[in-house]
Structure 1
Amino acid sequence: MPLDDIDRRILTALQRDGRLTNVELADAVGLSPSPCLRRVRLLEEAGVIERYVGLLNPPKVGLGFTVFARIWLKGQDEETVGRFTAAILKLPQMVECYLMAGDCDFLLKVVAPDLEGYRRFQIEHLGRIEAVQSIKSDIPMQRIKQTTELPLQETC
């Protein structure tokens, strides 16, 4: 779906605050409420807006420890990858999972209460997935930037 400048302004505003009322959103992007609501509905129907969520502060909910786990599988065939992805999808501690090109097969972002919590998770869950050959864990020392906002420029 090609996005015009108004669509981009709507999406930018909603990325910053998904709880804006339609009237507030319309005012922020320079439309009247009815056309603004129509545009939002079209963006939702087209799948440009997937869903609305509340972003939580991980430490405040007891999950302030983040680990990036690089996973190597025993094989890259469809069955092995399928078994691994099926197992990963059942683990709520996995907040992101990527099939990679390059050195490792998968990159996972895992949240845990602390180092011991992650160690238990790795031993009790990740290490028990039959398809896993090895796991390398990287622990970030400081978060420099984290955003859910996509940069919506006119070149999109």
Structure 2
Amino acid sequence: MRLFVIKRKWLYMIVASFIVGFGGWYLLSSESIITTSKSVDTEEKKLEINMVTGEFKSKTADGKEIEAYRFDPGTILLEKNNDVTLSIVGVNGEEHPFYIEGTSIKGVVKKGQETVVNLNFKEEGTYRLICDTHSTSEHGIPMIAYIVVD
């Protein structure tokens, strides 16, 4: 009685074919979501970035309470000359008046509300989104997000 023997090379090819075939089916099935950095449509869609205000609280060994507010995400990457909508929702802190360094953009994020800012940077660089209330170490830990434009 002779058993069917598959050489290792052929076994690898069969497994690889199965993986590629299954992966292709999965990507093309109706329930899958394609995530890419560029729009598949010919019409460009405006990029929307969602950000929140957050807070960290803790106590030191001697019982002193410390806290830090932050924008989350703390860094966003954008391409220059692209229209972007930045949506900031206030979660912690009653309000955070802010400005974007090097621009004329200013606003206020209030707890439980959404603040929408339209962006389009013409110059590459790193721009700081700074909360006026928590802008320096004298006011606690600075609340700053970074907008990196390439």
Q: TM-score range by the shorter chain?
A: under 0.3
Larger strand percent: 2
Higher relative contact order (CA 8 A, sep 6+): 1
Larger radius of gyration: 2
TM-score, length of structure 1 as denominator length: 0.23
